[in-house]
């Protein structure tokens, strides 16, 4: 029997069929404006990013997908260019097309849900990337024909050239078929080079692990999910509200917050503009400095400098 993975403190996503039926009934009663979407970058720095070999850059492709450059390496997080997720069409186009990407050196995967792991996308990537995945997923990658894979458990780390990759906890779950629930793990990735640390949080509910991760690492930039939280009674274990995301950021004591996991797919009842509005309100309520929040437009690139 294959091993099943779990969350810290034994917290489970254990919604039953009736919970899903209650959610669908609630959704039919709501009025949501889907005509307004989140901003798209007016200027996209394709040439500057492709020619860059020394600076750290962060380009938001959309959802949980970022193109990150560190130490001359091109890194993709949870690459998903899918036009649909289930029955729902993608709400916003990816910031860059697959053809516009440079050759990819590293891909990090947070977990196996389809909006974070899309093999049709992986087959179109340029280069010969090394895949870093949660424990339990290497078997699926091998079955799909990907031999260049390293799987890690929570708190394990590996060195790739001059970059450290650390796999850290998250509070979530995973399933790709009716028979493989939680047979692979889930988590976030901390990427470290000399003097700089970036934390890709992955997909998670709010949990005490943020403080623990902050105790282990001096985090410069955190890529934090803020969407797919409504209805909160259904999503709370697995996804954060924008207010919880801000609290998690405070817990981890990171320097810069970049939001993600909103505005691409309608995985829940909240909209991208709603998530952003609540994020800004929570940031102001927490009296955090405005310059520490970087809301990227789709396709926008941040050239990061350590404070």
Between CA 69 and CA 64 the distance in angstroms is 16
Q: Where do the DSSP E strands lie in the chain?
A: 56-62, 65-70, 73-77, 84-85, 88-89, 106-108, 130-134, 149-152, 157-160, 163-168, 188-193, 196-200, 221-225, 256-260, 301-304
264: which 2 tokens?
């691409």
pLDDT value of residue 33: 87
pLDDT digit string (tens) for 96-115?
999 999 999 999 999 999 99
Over residues 211-237, the mean pLDDT reads 97
Which residue do the tokens 């927490």 mark? 286
pTM: 0.96
Tell me: pLDDT of 146 over 60.
yes
Both tokens of residue 218?
A: 């001096």
Task: Note the pLDDT of residue 272.
Answer: 97
pLDDT at 307 over 50: no
Least confident window among 51-55, 235-239, 287-291? 51-55
Give the residue carrying structure tokens 């959610």.
Answer: 23
Q: Name the range with the highest mean pLDDT among 27-36, 47-56, 249-258.
A: 249-258
What's the pLDDT at 84?
96
168 versus 33: the higher-pLDDT residue is 168
Report, as an integer, the average pLDDT of 128-145: 98
The yes-or-no verdict on residue 275 having pLDDT over 80 is: yes
Which tokens go with 22?
Answer: 């209650």
Give the pLDDT of residue 1.
Answer: 77
pLDDT of 260 > 70? The answer is yes
Instruction: List beta partners, residue 257.
Output: 222, 293
pLDDT reported for residue 173: 97
Cα→Cα distances 225→55, 170, 259, Å:
24, 11, 6
Are 213 and 248 within 8 A, CB to CB? no
- The pLDDT tens digits for 58-95 are 999 999 999 999 999 999 999 999 999 988 899 999 99
Q: What CATH architecture does domain 41-304 belong to?
A: 4-Layer Sandwich (3.60)
Show the tokens assigned to 96. Answer: 């860059």
Kindly list the distances between the CA atom of residue 269 and the CA atoms of 133, 180, 234, 247, in Å, as whole numbers in the listed order.
Answer: 29, 26, 11, 22
Percent of the chain surpassing pLDDT 90: 87
**What average pLDDT does range 242-271 have in this prediction?**
97
Helix (H, G, I), strand (E, B) or coil at 168: strand
Q: Report the pLDDT value the prediction gives residue 18, as an integer from 0 to 100.
A: 81
Is the pLDDT score of 168 beyond 60?
A: yes
- pLDDT, the chain, mean: 95
Is residue 69 within 8 Å of residue 56, measured between CB atoms? yes
* Strand-pair partners of 59: 67, 301
The answer to whether 66 touches 59, Cβ cutoff 8 Å, is yes
The two structure tokens encoding residue 87? 């029955």
Least confident of 24-33, 85-94, 183-192, 252-261: 24-33
- The per-residue pLDDT for 306 is 52
Neighbours of 285 (CB within 10 A): 10
Partners of residue 130 on adjacent β-strands = 106
Question: Among candidates 39, 123, 51, 38, which has minimal Cα distance to 81?
Answer: 123
Tokens at 48, concatenated: 């500057």
Strand, helix or coil for residue 58: strand
Give, as one character, the DSSP assignment of residue 291.
G
């Amino acid at each position: 029997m294959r091993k099943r993975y779990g969350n810290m403190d034994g917290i489970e996503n254990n919604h039953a069929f009736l919970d899903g039926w209650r959610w669908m009934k609630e959704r039919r009663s709501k009025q949501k404006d889907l005509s307004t979407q989140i901003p798209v970058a007016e200027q996209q720095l394709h040439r500057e990013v492709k020619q860059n070999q020394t600076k750290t850059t962060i380009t938001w492709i959309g959802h949980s997908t970022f193109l990150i450059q560190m130490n001359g390496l091109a890194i993709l997080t949870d690459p998903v260019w899918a036009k649909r997720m289930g029955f729902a069409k993608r709400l916003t186009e990816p910031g860059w097309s697959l053809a516009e990407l440079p050759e990819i050196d590293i891909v990090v995967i947070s977990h196996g849900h389809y909006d974070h792991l899309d093999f049709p996308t992986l087959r179109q990537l340029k280069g010969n990337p090394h895949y870093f995945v949660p424990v339990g997923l290497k078997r699926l990658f091998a079955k799909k024909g990907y031999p260049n894979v390293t799987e890690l458990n929570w708190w394990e780390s590996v060195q790739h050239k001059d970059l450290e990759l650390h796999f850290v906890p998250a509070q979530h779950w995973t399933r790709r078929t009716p028979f493989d629930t939680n047979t692979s793990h889930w988590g976030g990735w901390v990427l470290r080079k000399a003097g700089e640390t970036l934390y890709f949080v992955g997909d998670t509910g709010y949990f005490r692990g943020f403080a623990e991760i902050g105790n282990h690492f001096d985090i410069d930039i955190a890529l934090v999910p803020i969407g797919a939280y409504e209805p909160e009674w259904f999503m709370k274990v697995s996804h954060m509200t924008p207010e919880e995301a801000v609290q998690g950021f405070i817990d981890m004591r990171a320097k810069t917050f970049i939001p993600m996991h909103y505005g691409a797919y309608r995985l829940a009842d909240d909209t991208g503009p709603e998530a952003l509005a609540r994020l800004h309100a929570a940031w102001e309520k927490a009296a955090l400095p405005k310059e520490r929040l970087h809301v990227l437009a789709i396709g926008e690139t941040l050239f990061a400098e350590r404070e």
